[in-house]
Amino acid sequence: MPNLEHPAYPAATLLHLESLVPCRESQVSMLLSIFGERQQFSFPSIFIYGHTSSGKTYVMQTLLNTLQLPHVFVNCVEYFTSRLLLEEILMQLQSCCSEREQTSHVHCDTFNDFVRLFKQAVVSRELEDQTLYIVLDRAEQLREMEANILPAFLRLQELTDRNVTVVLLSEIVWELFRPSIGCFEPFTLYFPDYSIGHLQKILSQNHPPEYSADFYAAYINILLGVFYMVCRDLKELQHLAALNFSKYCEPVVRGEANERDTRKLWKNIEPHLKKAMHTVYLREISSRAGENEKNVYNSDLKFGCSEKVLGLSAHTHVELPYYSKFLLIAAYLASYNPVRTDKRFFLKHHGKIRKTNFMKKHEKTSNHLLGPKPFPLDRLLAILYSIVDNRVAPTANIFSQITSLVTLQLLSMVGHNDQLDGPRYKCTVSLDFIRAIAR
C-alpha cells in the first residue's frame, strides 16, 4: 500500500486523507504530485474519467476539502447553459474565501467577460499566491454548450494568466471530447472500476456501531456474492446493503443465532436477497423500505378513490378503449407486414385461420429483427376497417385516438411533415404487448 507522501502538507492530514479515500491511493498520490505545492503552477487542465461510481467526484471533493485548497466545484448538468455555468463559478469564487459575505449577483454572458471578471475576483480574494482549482463535474455537458467553452476552459491558465487549474470529471473518454478544430490536450487520468475486493473493503468500512466489524464484513461478503454478478455500482450496492441489513440481523436480535452463526444467517437472508435481485436499480419504495412512510401518505391523501399499492412490475397491463386496441393492433400489423402482403391478408375471400398461421411464421423469420417500418395513415385505417368486425365510421373520435396513442408513445410519428401531407407512423410496442392487448 503506497503511503501518501508530499512535502507540502503535514503528514497527519495526509494520513487522514488516506483513510477517507480507500482503494484510490495511487490516483490521489498521482494528483498530489501533479498539484505540487500550493503556490506552484500546476498542469493547466486535468481530465479524469472512469465508470459510474468509481469515486471521481468523491475523491476530488475530499482531496480539495481536506487539504483546504481553494476550489470551485460545479456540476455542469445543473448549470445547463454557459451563462449559468460561468456565473455560478464567479459566485462561488466570491464566497470562496470570504466567509458569509453577501455575494452580489454578477452578469456574465460571454467567456470574455468571464476572463475579465475572473481576474478581478482572484485579485480581490487574494488568491494569486496559490493554485485555484475549478472542478467541472459531468463535463460531457460542456460539449452541448457553445463551441468555445470547452477549449477555453482547457487553457484557462493561459487566458487569465493566473494560477488556476481546471479539472474535468466525466464518464466518457477524452477522445469523444476532442473538438474537430483541435485544442489544448489536458492531462488525462483514469479511475479504474473497483474490484470485488475493493468493494468489499469500502462497503465494510461503514459498519453500524452496534455490530462488530467482522459481522458486518461477513454480511457484505454474502451481499457481494449475490449481487456482484448483476450490479457493480457502488452506490446501488450501498443502498442494497442498507436495505437488507436489518433483515440480516433479525435472528441475532431475536436471539436465535449469534453473530458467528453464518450458516443460519445465510438461510435467513437468502430469500430476501433473491427478492431484492428483481428490483435492483428500480428503487420501489413499496417493496420494503417505505412501509411507515406509506402509511403517513395514505392517511394524508384521502381523495375520492382508494389506492392500491403494488410493485411496479405488477402493472404491466394497460387499459385502452376498444377501438384504440384495434388501432394499435392494426398499427402493429402495418409496421411489421410488408405492404405487398396486405392484399393477401386482409381481403375477404381468404380463409381466416390459414391466414393468421402464415402471418406468424412469416413475421418470425425476418421482420421482427428489422424493427417496425413506417406506414401511412391510410394504410392503418384500411387495416383497421378490415380487422374490426362491424363497420367503423371514420369519425373524429378515431382520429383523435391515433394522436392520443402517439402521446402515449405507443405509436410514433415519423418525419416532421405537415399533418395534411399524409402523416406516417410507426408502431413502437412489442409483440408481447400486442398479444396482451389482443387477448
Partner 1 sequence: MASDQIRNKGVNVTDHDLTFRSLSEVLQNNITPYIALLEAKDCPGIKNLMQKLMGQLMNCYIDVDSSEDEDYVQVSHNRIRCSMTSLINWYEHVTKKPDSETPSKKRTSSSRHWQSPPVVVVFKDMESFSTKVLQDFIVISSQHIHELPLVLIFGIATSPMIIHSLLPHFVSSLLCIELFQSLSCKDHLSTIIDKLLLRASFPFKLGEKVLQVLINIFLYHDFSVQNFIKGFQLCIVEHFCSQPVSVLCCQLVDAKKRADSLSHDQCENIRKLPSFRRYVESQVSEKQIALLTVDTYLKEITQKLLEDLHVYHENYLSVLRCLHVFTSFLPKYPLGKQIRELYCACLENQVWETEEYESSLQLARMLNKSDLVTMLQQCVEIFVSSSGKEFDNTVEKLKEFLTQFQKLEEEAFQEQDVSVSSQKELQKKTDLYHLQKTLLELKESRRSKKLTKFEMLRFEVVDYIDSLVRNYLVPANHKTLHEIMYFNTASVLREHLNAAPRIALHTALNNPYRYLKNQALKSDEGSISNKAPDICIVYKLHLECGRLINLVDWLEAFSTVVMGAEGPNADAASSDQVDDIIHARFIRAVSELELLGFIKPSKQKTDHVARLTWGGC
Interface with partner 1 (CB under 8 A): 52, 75, 77-81, 84, 87-88, 91, 105, 233, 235-236, 239, 281-286, 289-290, 293-294, 297, 300-313, 315-324, 378, 382, 393-401, 404, 407-410, 420-422
CB of 206 to partner 1, least distance (A): 17
Compare residues 277 and 359 and give the one whose CB is closer to partner 1: 277
| Closest listed residue to residue 45, CA positions, set 191, 168, 174, 170 | 168
DSSP string, 397-418: HHHHHHHHHHHTTSEEEES---
Q: Is 438 helix (H, G, I), strand (E, B) or coil?
A: helix
CB of 410 to partner 1, least distance (A): 7
CB of 344 to partner 1, least distance (A): 18
CB of 263 to partner 1, least distance (A): 32
Q: Is 241 exposed, middle or buried (0-12, 13-18, 19+ CB in 10 A)?
A: buried
Helix (H) or strand (E) holding 167: strand 164-170
**Range 245-267 burial, b when 16+ CB lie within 10 A, else e:** bebbbebbeeeebebeeeeebee
Compare residues 40 and 397 and give the one whose CB is closer to partner 1: 397
229: cell is: 454478478
Compare residues 98 and 400 and give the one whose CB is closer to partner 1: 400
CB of 218 to partner 1, least distance (A): 26
8-state DSSP, 141: G
CB of 358 to partner 1, least distance (A): 26
Compare residues 250 and 284 and give the one whose CB is closer to partner 1: 284
Distance of alpha carbon 148 from alpha carbon 157, whole angstroms: 15
Compare residues 79 and 118 and give the one whose CB is closer to partner 1: 79
CB of 391 to partner 1, least distance (A): 12
Compare residues 1 and 305 and give the one whose CB is closer to partner 1: 305
Compare residues 252 and 388 and give the one whose CB is closer to partner 1: 388
Distance of alpha carbon 243 from alpha carbon 326, whole angstroms: 44
Helix (H) or strand (E) holding 77: none
Distance of alpha carbon 361 from alpha carbon 242, whole angstroms: 49
CB of 71 to partner 1, least distance (A): 17
* CB of 325 closer than 8 Å to CB of 438: yes
8-state DSSP, 439: -
Compare residues 31 and 381 and give the one whose CB is closer to partner 1: 381
Q: Which amino acid is at 87?
A: E
Q: Residue 97 — φ and ψ, nearest 5°?
A: -100, -35
Positive or negative, the CA dihedral 230, 233, 238, 239 is: negative
Compare residues 254 and 439 and give the one whose CB is closer to partner 1: 439
Rounded to the nearest angstrom, the gap between the alpha carbon of residue 183 and the centroid of all alpha carbons in its chain is 29
| Closest listed residue to residue 32, CA positions, set 21, 427, 394 | 21
268: cell is: 435467513
Cell 435481485 sits at which residue? 277
Q: Is 85 helix (H, G, I), strand (E, B) or coil?
A: helix
Compare residues 262 and 286 and give the one whose CB is closer to partner 1: 286
CB of 302 to partner 1, least distance (A): 8
CB of 149 to partner 1, least distance (A): 16
